């Protein structure tokens, strides 16, 4: 099979935004669609499962300069469609942007402004389940078994038990949560409805879809048709799936372009945090038990994820993660150690795939699992930011933009001992060597002899280093990372 993924993704640096918590423009006139008179929790208040802090699309647009300085050229938005949940994973209407975010008018302005800045926008598609407020499900609630939409869902008995606290619903719902009724995707009308949503928003100009729990629509042909229709609208549309485990079934080039690369995240955490990782925060969610990795194990795992699992086009389209709205913050898992997080960003920015920065990770936001990983971005408290980490992330993103080998070059492990891992990215004559010492003691290794010419050097947490030559022995300080390139830095 000829595997083709969107070429632009190789050069993308994504920024993932949870819309209610990133930025609020209180003067956004499109928010008038909300009807006025709305009340939000104070910005920066401790997050809860049901509270709204009022972030909106106009607020995001006001921060485009910040994102550009960070090196971002693509945004992944958590769901934005009309919903009664702050996370909006339960859609009332798939064709209407939530009025609290600015409505369809506000989204059109946001999308135009993003594209004018060269920023692509990928939306979150939740097609396995919906809200009790979706018209077709509400019809069942009102009418019962005689509703024309009775076959849109999986109903076990009547009347529907959709709002009794503490009782399981008597219809299929995601994780038996009553507010998340599951679509019957065997119904041709439902399939057409969901495929139409996919193409409708591409026709409005979005650049792709992140698909929520797509494996729970256990139907390869459904997703093949979804891909065919989306690519017919925009051949360069990015289709990335939330798949936490190896996903060869779906990543052959006929369904999804990539997955959220939590496999990479697990490897980074296992290597950089290792025995100090609080597994009580990982066992109960998608990460599961994360094995501790030494340097050789880390290189082997990266080699497996990047070079063995999938076609190279898929590997270079992966969405490379350090965390998301579904995970504890990377700073928290790193035991609030900024140097560990800086090294994680080094790995992310030098690995194949499109880096995805979860909003606030670059300034050191911490937080355990939902809702604490979804706190408001502290624009009002810049003194709380880790400005050194922010500068480091900006520098690493700029390095990735400068060196095409970091975006498009093949990956090859070079050397590893104990807690040291060294790997290479190569594209034609351009070569980049990356070394990471995860230990709390110095380590050393020898640069490859065949580098020949002098190499530029970047050091995590320091300015441009002196040029070195191939074959030279390198001494690595504790908890440090370095990058050398055959191209001028």
Which residue, among 350, 359, 345, has the nearest Cα to 388 in the 3D structure?
A: 345
Q: Are 138 and 40 part of one and the same domain?
A: yes
Q: Are 453 and 386 part of one and the same domain?
A: no
Q: Are 367 and 399 part of one and the same domain?
A: yes
Which residues, 6 or more positions from 463, have their beta carbon under 8 angstroms from its beta carbon? none
Catalytic residue, chosen from 20, 28, 124, 242, is 242
Domain containing residue 208: 7-405
By CB atoms closer than 10 A (0-12, 13-18, 19+), residue 271 is: buried
- Answer yes or no: is 1 within a domain: no
Laid out side by side, the sheet with 430-437 consists of: 410-417, 420-427, 430-437, 480-485, 455-459, 465-468
- Answer yes or no: is 110 within a domain: yes
Q: Is 242 a catalytic residue?
A: yes
In the chain, which stretches have pLDDT less than 70?
31-35, 451-469, 488-489
According to DSSP, residue 81 is labeled E
Q: Are 397 and 431 part of one and the same domain?
A: no
CATH number, domain of 71, equals 3.20.20.80
Q: Are 474 and 355 part of one and the same domain?
A: no
Q: Are 314 and 437 part of one and the same domain?
A: no
Q: What is the pLDDT of residues 104-122, one digit of tens each?
A: 999 999 999 999 999 999 9
Return the pLDDT at 447: 76
CATH number, domain of 462, equals 2.60.40.1180
Q: Is 25 a catalytic residue?
A: no
Return the pLDDT at 182: 98
- Answer yes or no: is 2 within a domain: no
Q: What is the pLDDT of residues 353-373, one digit of tens each?
A: 999 999 999 999 999 999 999
Q: Are 217 and 351 part of one and the same domain?
A: yes
Structural domain total, the chain? 2
Q: Are 360 and 273 part of one and the same domain?
A: yes
Give the DSSP letter string of 259-314.
EEEHHHHHHHHHHHTGGG--GGGTTTSTT-SPPP--HHHHHHHHHIIIIISS-HHH
Q: Report the DSSP beta bridge partners of residue 474.
A: 445
Catalytic residue, chosen from 98, 207, 212, 301, is 212
């Amino acid at each position: 099979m000829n595997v083709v993924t969107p070429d632009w993704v190789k050069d993308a640096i994504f920024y993932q935004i949870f819309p209610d918590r990133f930025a609020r423009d209180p003067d956004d006139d499109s928010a008038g669609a909300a009807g006025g008179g709305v009340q939000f929790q104070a910005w920066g208040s401790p997050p809860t499962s049901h509270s709204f802090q009022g972030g909106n699309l106009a607020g995001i647009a006001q921060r485009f300069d910040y994102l550009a300085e960070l090196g971002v050229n693509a945004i992944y938005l958590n769901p934005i469609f009309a919903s009664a949940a702050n996370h909006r994973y339960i859609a009332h209407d798939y064709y209407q942007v939530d009025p609290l975010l600015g409505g369809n008018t506000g989204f059109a302005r946001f999308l135009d402004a993003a594209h004018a800045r060269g920023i692509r926008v990928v939306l979150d598609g939740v097609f396995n389940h919906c809200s009790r407020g979706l018209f077709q499900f509400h019809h069942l609630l009102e009418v019962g078994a005689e509703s024309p939409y009775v076959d849109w869902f999986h109903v076990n008995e009547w009347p529907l038990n959709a709002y009794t606290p503490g009782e399981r619903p008597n219809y299929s719902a995601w994780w038996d949560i009553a507010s998340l009724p599951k679509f019957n995707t065997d119904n041709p009308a439902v399939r057409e409805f969901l495929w139409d949503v996919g193409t409708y928003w591409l026709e409005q100009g979005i650049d792709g879809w992140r698909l929520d729990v797509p494996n729970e629509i256990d139907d390869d042909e459904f997703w093949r048709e979804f891909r065919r229709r989306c690519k017919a609208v925009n051949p360069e549309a990015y289709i990335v799936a939330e798949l936490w485990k190896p996903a060869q079934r779906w990543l052959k080039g006929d369904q999804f372009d990539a997955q959220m690369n939590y496999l990479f995240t697990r490897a980074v955490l296992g290597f950089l945090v290792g025995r100090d990782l609080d597994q009580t925060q990982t066992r109960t969610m998608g990460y599961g038990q994360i094995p501790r990795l030494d340097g050789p194990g880390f290189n082997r795992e990266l080699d497996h994820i990047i070079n063995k699992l999938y076609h190279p086009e898929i590997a270079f389209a992966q969405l490379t993660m350090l965390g998301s709205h579904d995970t504890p913050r990377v700073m928290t898992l790193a035991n609030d150690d900024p140097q560990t997080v800086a090294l994680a960003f080094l790995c992310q920015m030098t690995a194949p795939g499109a880096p995805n920065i979860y909003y606030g990770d670059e300034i050191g936001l911490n937080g355990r699992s939902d809702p604490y990983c979804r706190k408001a971005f502290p624009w009002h408290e810049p003194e709380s930011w880790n400005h050194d980490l922010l500068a480091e992330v900006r520098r690493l993103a700029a390095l990735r933009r400068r060196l095409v080998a970091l975006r498009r070059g093949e990956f090859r492990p070079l050397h590893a001992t104990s807690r040291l891992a060294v790997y290479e990215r190569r594209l034609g004559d351009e070569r980049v060597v990356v070394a990471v010492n995860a230990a709390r003691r110095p380590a050393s290794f020898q640069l490859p002899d065949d580098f020949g010419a002098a190499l530029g050097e970047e050091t995590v947490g320091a300015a441009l280093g002196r040029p070195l030559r191939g074959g030279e022995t390198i001494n690595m300080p504790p908890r440090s990372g370095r990058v050398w390139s055959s191209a001028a830095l």
